[in-house]
């Protein structure tokens, strides 16, 4: 695969499988958009390797190890972004994996991303390889940081902080915004995750509300289940509110993208909060038209820093 084919493949994967992000990412200048299509495509393949229901846990462990070795080679620049990338085959990689690994090599060559954030994302997926229950919010937050806070930091590395902005604050807020996104994903995917033996929501908070995850998914006590879901939705809203300064810290070119992605996720969150019982029964989505409208408003400057 040559350069054009690699980046086009990454863009297709992002458009098809990460649509909530794609509508925002395409608002970026071409150089930054291509880089983040590659990052999100790499994340999508990583997630699929950890989640593949056709493979045993042992095989998924082995596949993730293999993918990590190829990723480490990219991060170490053992696989440089040059003519050699077009013909080199990564260990055991099919065409889709080869495209995203080559795309990551492009990102590494063009942007000063922190390799630890890429490795954090892999460790986050390792947490998904076996049935999991998190006892406290702090444990849930660690998971969210690895699988999504890491993405927020990589995005910041690609689009950059605004001139004169405090980079430390920008990274902190990017991390927290990513965690907010992931908490929305958790609330949206409760039933699906439960079917896989996973419960990301804090077990101690479920007990404090007098329910179990089985009770919640079956919605056995309307008052208690509603109260618990409202508490979780309120936490996600607080995380978004805490990161309000972020739009003023990132590069101006990135503001429409950040605003669009955040608006999409906040609308999903508010639909869950409005009727959590129905949200568990049916996965909450926005239509393509809604996401297009949000992206258009962001491009025109009608979305920005919000409380």
Distance CA 285, CA 143 (A): 23
- Does residue 109 sit in the same domain as residue 169? no
**Which of 165, 168, 196, 157 is closest to 51 using CA atoms?**
196
For residue 161, report the phi and psi dihedrals to the nearest 5 degrees.
-85, 155
Whole-prediction pTM: 0.93
For residue 189, report the phi and psi dihedrals to the nearest 5 degrees.
-110, 20
The pLDDT of residue 46 is 95
The residue from 129, 149, 169 where one domain ends is: 129
Tell me the percentage of the chain whose pLDDT exceeds 90: 79
The pLDDT of residue 85 is 61
Higher-pLDDT residue of 150 and 2 is 150
pLDDT in tens, 92-111: 888 899 999 999 999 999 99
**Which of 265, 109, 128 is closest to 185 using CA atoms?**
265
The pLDDT of residue 307 is 35
- CA torsion through residues 185, 188, 62, 39, sign: negative
Q: Which two tokens stand for residue 139?
A: 């444990």
> What value does the mean pLDDT take over residues 171-180?
98
Q: Which of 151-160, 192-201, 212-221, 257-266 has the lowest mean pLDDT?
A: 192-201
Higher-pLDDT residue of 190 and 3 is 190
For the cut 50, the answer to whether the pLDDT of residue 89 exceeds it is yes
pLDDT level of residue 303 (50, 70, 90 thresholds): confident
Average pLDDT over the chain reads 92
For the cut 50, the answer to whether the pLDDT of residue 230 exceeds it is yes
Distance CA 100, CA 238 (A): 34
pLDDT level of residue 305 (50, 70, 90 thresholds): very low
The residue from 76, 100, 129 where one domain ends is: 129
pLDDT in tens, 33-88: 999 999 999 999 999 998 887 888 889 899 999 999 999 999 998 876 664 465 56
Question: Can you give the residue range of the structural domain that contains 76?
Answer: 1-129
**Which of 153, 132, 154 is closest to 143 using CA atoms?**
132
Helix (H) or strand (E) holding 160: none
- Does residue 295 sit in the same domain as residue 207? yes
> What value does the mean pLDDT take over residues 104-132?
92
**Helix, strand, coil in percent for the chain, rounding step 5:** 75, 0, 25
- CA torsion through residues 15, 153, 28, 254, sign: positive
Catalogue the E-assigned strands of the chain.
Answer: 132-133, 198-199
- Does residue 274 sit in the same domain as residue 256? yes
- Domain count of the fold of the chain: 2
- Does residue 135 sit in the same domain as residue 238? yes
């Amino acid at each position: 695969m040559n350069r054009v084919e690699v980046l086009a493949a990454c863009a297709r994967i992002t458009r098809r499988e990460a649509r909530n992000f794609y509508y925002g990412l395409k608002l970026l200048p071409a150089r930054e958009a291509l880089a983040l299509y590659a990052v999100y495509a790499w994340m999508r393949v990583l997630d699929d390797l950890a989640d593949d229901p056709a493979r045993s846990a042992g095989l998924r462990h082995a596949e993730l190890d293999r993918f990590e070795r190829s990723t480490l080679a990219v991060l170490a620049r053992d696989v440089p972004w040059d003519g050699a990338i077009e013909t080199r085959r990564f260990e055991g990689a099919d065409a889709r994996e080869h495209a995203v690994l080559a795309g990551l090599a492009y990102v590494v060559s063009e942007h000063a991303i922190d390799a630890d954030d890429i490795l954090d994302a892999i460790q986050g997926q390792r947490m998904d390889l076996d049935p999991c229950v998190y006892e406290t919010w702090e444990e849930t937050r660690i998971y969210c940081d690895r699988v999504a806070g890491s993405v927020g930091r990589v995005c910041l590395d690609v689009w950059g902080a605004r001139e004169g902005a405090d980079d430390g604050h920008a990274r902190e807020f990017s991390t927290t915004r990513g965690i907010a996104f992931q908490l929305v994903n958790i609330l949206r995917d409760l039933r699906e995750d439960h079917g896989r033996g996973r419960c990301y929501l804090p077990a101690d908070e479920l007990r404090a509300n007098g329910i179990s995850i089985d009770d919640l998914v079956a919605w056995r006590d309307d008052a208690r289940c509603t109260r618990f879901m409202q508490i979780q939705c309120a936490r996600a809203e607080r995380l978004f509110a805490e990161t309000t300064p972020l739009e003023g810290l990132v590069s101006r070119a990135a503001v429409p993208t950040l605003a669009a992605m955040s608006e999409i996720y906040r609308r999903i969150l508010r639909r869950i909060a409005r009727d959590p019982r129905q949200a568990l029964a049916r996965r909450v989505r926005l239509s393509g038209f809604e996401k297009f409208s949000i992206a258009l408003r962001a491009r025109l400057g009608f979305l920005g820093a919000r409380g």
